[in-house]
Amino acid sequence: MVFEKIECSAPISSDRSGNLTNGTEPTTYVHMLLNQRTVPLGFSYQACGNRSDGWCELNAFVHTLEEQQALVDFDYSCYGNYTLPPWGNVTNGLPPQAGS
């Protein structure tokens, strides 16, 4: 797994054909690779938007991770009594809550 931090002089279009004309502020992006393939961050993190290049603005990515951290319950995840969803069901990675 590789995380790249990409600093640009202005916001970049999602197909990376050039700078967006309405932005003049420097923009920093995160690009995540797993097994040499881009992980489309917008599919998992709505704040990243639906960029075709899979990049995410750094501030949106960090904010999303901060929100995700608040959902973590280590004790329940490791020692809770729950049933795993069937194989192939896509979840957010958290164990099901009791009664759901």
pLDDT tens per residue, the chain (100 residues)?
999 999 988 888 888 776 666 667 889 999 999 999 999 999 888 999 989 899 999 999 999 999 888 888 888 888 988 888 888 876 777 788 754 5
Please give the model's pTM, rounded to 2 decimal places: 0.71
- In this structure, what token pair is assigned to residue 44? 């998992």
- Give me the helices (H) in the chain, please: 41-44, 58-69, 74-79
